Structure 1
Amino acid sequence: MNKMSISWKGYIPAITLPFDEQQRIDWNAYKKLLNWLVDEGMHGIVINGTTGEWFSLTDEEVREVFAFVGKTIDNRIPVIAGCTGYTAKQASRFAQWAKEADLDGVLIAPPPYMVPNDEELFQHYQQISQSVSLPICVYNWPRGTQVDISPALMKRLATIEHVVAVKNSTTDMANFIQMLLEVGQDVRYFGAPMNALGISLLKHHQADGLMGAGAVLGRIHPQFFEYLWAGEEEKALECGKKDQLLFKQFFNPDFSVKFGSQQAILKTALNLQGLPGGHVRQPLIDLTPDEEEKVKSVLNEALK
């Protein structure tokens, strides 16, 4: 298995998971959200990632979400399942459930909290690969794991049989560029920003797309790539400006949020448009009325 075994490219958002006021999964809202994302032209989706609050789900809920999404999407677009776990055994169990649900691949970050070294990480991903047959996307998420996978380690990880992609969410631009140069020919590479730099990386340096957060602007996000693929760079940049506006107003350069939580901000942005964002689940809390007004102001600016 290699990067040519999959067709993942473009905008593949890590999506939210709506909870109701009692913090139960709102399956009706989730179905509406999934169908809306397909209708808005997403090139795929990531479920149960950071945006999807995987950390608050029971094992039973993880399995239920995978089965529900597989049935609802029904192979209309690729679905990549977040399967991060504290051990290879746990991550492999999640990945097996993703396979049973007929999903297309798995996204796996380094185990949170424990800060494993390079050899421990290599063996972690190798053991997962030996246990599952789905394509694996390595998720470099230093803010959430306290590990910033180096280009040299990613080069090693790319030799593992089922590793076919990387989502590089580092704030270290030197890491980002060097890793792309090191492994772009070996794996699908996600993280290209929707701006002039991103266009250069996509056109000339083998980047494949962006696994962004939330898709709250709907088709504007995938249209950046659609326009770029059609050779209409100016139109692509216009879409990119709207995406970048959200990022700059909601997030700091280190990917921390300026208020609330990432999940609460994105769900509020959906709710304000009459879309099924729902509530967050503890330990996260919904935004205050003043924070909701901040989201509304930014959203109005982006959509005008």
Structure 2
Amino acid sequence: MSIQWEGVMPAVTTKFTDTDELDLKMFEKNINAQLEAGVHGIVLGGTLGEASTLLDEEKRILTKTTVNLVNSRVPVLVNVAEQSTKAAIATAQKAEDDGAQALMMLPPMRYKSGDKETVEYFKAVANNTSLPIMIYNNPVDYKVEVSLDMFEELLKCDNIEAVKESTRDISNVTRIKNRFGDRLKIMTGVDTLALESLLMGADGWIAGLVCAFPAETVAIYELQKAGRIKEAIDIYRWFLPLLELDINPKLVQNIKLAEVYTKIGTENVRAPRLPLHGEERKQVLKIIEKSLGNRPKLPDYKNL
């Protein structure tokens, strides 16, 4: 099984009710907004999806619900972020059973694995699922870097196909292309470097603010792909203050507040997270309201 590693794939938020249950009604509303905007895949249970707070059964409900909603229009990816190799293999196999088309994988959680341990962890999961895998390389937040030499070993597994490139080093896109060509697809994972990464050869964008602004996000991707760079840059410059809400410890709360303003989400987060309050909330609202006040008119990006 393989998928097209390209385009915009939102790392969607998980919606909760006021009583801390899964809010599948609002979740469906957001997924439909993403599909209407023209996204190219859906990523479940990532950092924005509050993966560490979800029960195993909740993850499975979200996967099955999304697979049914999407109905094969775009691939559904499930994040694997576990503390043990055994648990990671089990998560991958459940995702496959529940209809996911691919996996996004983080290094082991809590324990800071060494290079060999990290490689063996990823390979063990790859060897126990038929699903294609995207390695999430985010040493800034997760303290483990997957080097090019490590990828050389990992690519011996045919189903390790892509990287979510979140090192914050824009030149890494070129290093990967120079070393691996098209064997390792690149999905940029940092909103504030997204357009730069795409212009340097990244194949797609695992996006955050897309959760609240799906059309603008997809428009940037489609415009740059069509060579209409100035138009893409103009939208991107408008978008940047919002995109910066993603590179913040409160990214979940920030983006959920933005979803409220675009009417495709709620502020509900799962404890220990709490909704924004006080001066912090005022500052985020100022950014959101100012951006909505001069929201750009988009070209017909779906028919470029």
TM-score strictly above 0.5? yes
| Residues 44, 78 of structure 2: 8 Å contact kept | yes
For 1:25-36, what aligned pairs fall within 5 Å after superposition? 25-36=22-33
| Residues 187, 206 of structure 2: 8 Å contact kept | yes
The residue that corresponds to 1:50 in the other structure is 47
Compare 285-294 and 29-38 and name the one that shifted more. 285-294
Amino acid at match of 2:197: G
In the TM superposition, residue 302 of structure 1 has moved relative to its aligned partner by 2.9
Q: Separation in 1 of the partners of 2:19 and 2:27?
A: 15
CA change 1:208–1:225 in 2 (3 A) is: same
In the TM superposition, residue 290 of structure 1 has moved relative to its aligned partner by 3.8
In the TM superposition, residue 167 of structure 1 has moved relative to its aligned partner by 0.1
1:16-39: CA deviation from partner (whole Å, max 9, x where unpaired):
001122221111111111111111
Q: How many residues align?
A: 289
Q: Separation in 2 of the partners of 1:98 and 1:10?
A: 22
For 1:160-175, what aligned pairs fall within 5 Å after superposition? 160-175=157-172
Amino acid at match of 2:217: H
- SS of 1:152 mapped into structure 2: helix
- Normalised by the length of structure 1, the TM-score is 0.88
Does residue 158 (structure 1) correspond to residue 147 (structure 2)? The answer is no
Percent of pairs identical after alignment? Answer: 25
Does residue 239 (structure 1) correspond to residue 228 (structure 2)? The answer is no
Compare 167-176 and 52-61 and name the one that shifted more. 167-176
CA change 1:164–1:123 in 2 (3 A) is: same
Of the candidates 73, 79, 82, which is equivalent to residue 70 of structure 2?
73
- Normalised by the length of structure 2, the TM-score is 0.88
1:196-218: CA deviation from partner (whole Å, max 9, x where unpaired):
x334312xxxx201112141222
In the TM superposition, residue 223 of structure 1 has moved relative to its aligned partner by 0.9
Of the candidates 203, 206, 211, which is equivalent to residue 211 of structure 1?
206
Structure 1 stretches of 4+ with a deviation exceeding 6 A read none
In the TM superposition, residue 300 of structure 1 has moved relative to its aligned partner by 3.0
Q: Separation in 2 of the partners of 1:52 and 1:183?
A: 30
In the TM superposition, residue 245 of structure 1 has moved relative to its aligned partner by 2.4
Amino acid at match of 2:206: M
| Residues 227, 235 of structure 1: 8 Å contact kept | yes
Does residue 221 (structure 1) correspond to residue 217 (structure 2)? The answer is yes
| Residues 280, 286 of structure 1: 8 Å contact kept | yes
For 1:213-292, what aligned pairs fall within 5 Å after superposition? 213-215=208-210, 216-248=212-244, 250=245, 255-257=247-249, 261-292=250-281
| Residues 9, 205 of structure 2: 8 Å contact kept | yes
Q: Separation in 2 of the partners of 1:265 and 1:75?
A: 30
CA change 1:186–1:46 in 2 (3 A) is: same
Amino acid at match of 2:21: R
RMSD across aligned positions (CA): 1.9
The residue that corresponds to 1:132 in the other structure is 129
Give the gaps of 5 or more residues in structure 1: none
In the TM superposition, residue 111 of structure 1 has moved relative to its aligned partner by 0.7
Does residue 16 (structure 1) correspond to residue 5 (structure 2)? The answer is no
| Residues 188, 198 of structure 2: 8 Å contact kept | no
Q: Separation in 1 of the partners of 2:35 and 2:278?
A: 31
| Residues 42, 76 of structure 2: 8 Å contact kept | yes
In the TM superposition, residue 266 of structure 1 has moved relative to its aligned partner by 0.5
The residue that corresponds to 2:57 in the other structure is 60
- SS of 1:210 mapped into structure 2: strand
Q: Separation in 2 of the partners of 1:183 and 1:242?
A: 34
Amino acid at match of 1:210: W
Q: Separation in 2 of the partners of 1:81 and 1:267?
A: 20
